[in-house]
Amino acid sequence: MMATDQNNQEARQSLLAPLFADDVALAATDPAVDQPSPLPEELNGLSPRAVEKRRREFAAGRAVARAAMAQLDHSPAPILVGKDRAPVWPKGLIGSITHCKTCAMAAVSTSDRYAGLGLDVEEDTPLKSELWDAICSKREQDWMRAHHNPAQMGKLIFSAKEAAYKCQYNVSRRYFGFEGMELEFDMANHSFRAEFTADQVPFVQGTSLFGRFAIGAGLIITAVSLSTNWQEV
């Protein structure tokens, strides 16, 4: 690995590390770097017509997921693709996989500690203005416009909603659009709150998920976790 690649890897890891508690294992890599081949069972989740870019991203995602699993002393088991296209984690584990053009990341922990994990990585590029209404509520857009870089904040909102959606999907198995959650950010503490705007059983309207974010190294990274005792908190 070239020195520049190593530096990029370390920068990504340093951004990712503070976003979860210490009992969540984390790993990151560059999809452009050659990765171990996915396990044979996993290839059923990859279309035979998949282009090289998609194959690299899939391999990188499974590679970082297994790297995170190894940190938990878990053997390298397959991570299958469910009928809903979501990863099917080995028994006793829960996690989240994400990738963009330049980065693949995974977060993994044990299912006795977490009901859901959500991780998203995006390139730090502006959210196109024609997408604002589809992704951001009026209140969110007002907040964006008060910032010196509204389009970047739009991308942050997009990423945070993706992470929150992934986290809640582990519990609800329900699909909904970007309007299903509204966000509030604490920029000083690199944190955010995602509030359900309607019931999504077992979540009720007004329930909030809490997450963290990082911006750097050309990336926007967002993370949300939900403990198994979330209904008691």
Annotated binding site for Mg(2+): 120, 122
Length of the chain (residues) = 233
147: left (phi over 0), alpha (psi -120 to 50) or beta: beta
Q: Which positions make up the binding site?
A: 54, 62, 98-99, 120, 122, 162, 166
Q: Which positions make up the binding site for CoA?
A: 54, 62, 98-99, 120, 162, 166
120: its two tokens: 């998203």
Cα(177)–Cα(184) distance, integer angstroms: 17
Counting other chains too, the contacts that 108-112 makes at CB distance below 8 Å and 24 or more residues apart are 108/24, 108/25, 108/26, 108/65, 108/68, 108/69, 108/71, 108/72, 109/20, 109/23, 109/24, 109/25, 109/72, 110/23, 110/72, 111/228, 112/228
81: its two tokens: 């693709």
190: left (phi over 0), alpha (psi -120 to 50) or beta: left
153: its two tokens: 């904040």
